[in-house]
Amino acid sequence: MLSGRHLLGIKDLSAQEIMLYLKSASSFKDILKRDIKKVPALRGRTVVNLFFEPSTRTRTSFELAAKRLSTDVINFSAPSSSILKGESLLDTALTVEALGADIIIIRHSFSGVPHMLSKHLRVSVINAGDGTNEHPTQALLDAFTIMEKKGGFEGLQVAIIGDIIHSRVAKSNIYCLKKLGADVRLIGPATLLPECFRDLGVKTFSSMEEGLEGADVIMMLRLQLERQGKGFFPTTDEYFSQWGLSNKRLRAARPDAIIMHPGPMNRGIEISSDVADGGNSVILEQVTNGLAVRMAVMYHLDERKEQ
Residues in contact with ligand CP by CB under 6 A are: 55-58, 129, 135, 138, 262-264
Nearest CA to 132 out of 228, 203, 236 is that of 228
Q: Which amino acid is at 140?
A: L
Nearer to ligand CP, 92 or 289 (CB): 289
Provide the 8-state DSSP code for 85.
G
Q: Which of residues 140 and 252 has its CB atom nearest to ligand CP in the complex? A: 140
254 or 267: whose CB is closer to ligand CP? 267
Beta strands 46-51 and 103-108, pairing class? parallel
Q: Residue 21, CB half-sphere, CA atoms under 13 Å: how many? A: 32
Handedness of CA 7, 9, 13, 15 (dihedral sign): positive
Long-range contacts of residues 75-80, Cβ cutoff 8 Å, at least 24 apart: 75/49, 75/51, 76/48, 76/49, 76/50, 76/51, 78/50, 78/51, 78/52
Tell me how far, at minimum, the Cβ of 286 lies from ligand CP, in Å: 8
Distance in Å, CB of 267 to ligand CP, minimum: 15
Min CB(8)–ligand CP separation in Å:
16
CB of 91 to ligand CP, least distance (A): 25
The residue (of 136 and 244) whose beta carbon lies closer to ligand CP is: 136
- Tell me how far, at minimum, the Cβ of 61 lies from ligand CP, in Å: 8
Sheet harboring 258-260: ordered strands across? 203-205, 183-187, 157-161, 217-220, 258-260
Q: Is the CB of 170 or the CB of 180 nearer to ligand CP?
A: 170
* Shortest Å, Cβ 129 to ligand CP: 6
Q: Kindly report the backbone phi and psi dihedral angles of residue 183, in degrees, each rounded to the nearest multiple of 5, phi listed first.
A: -95, 125
Nearer to ligand CP, 111 or 242 (CB): 111
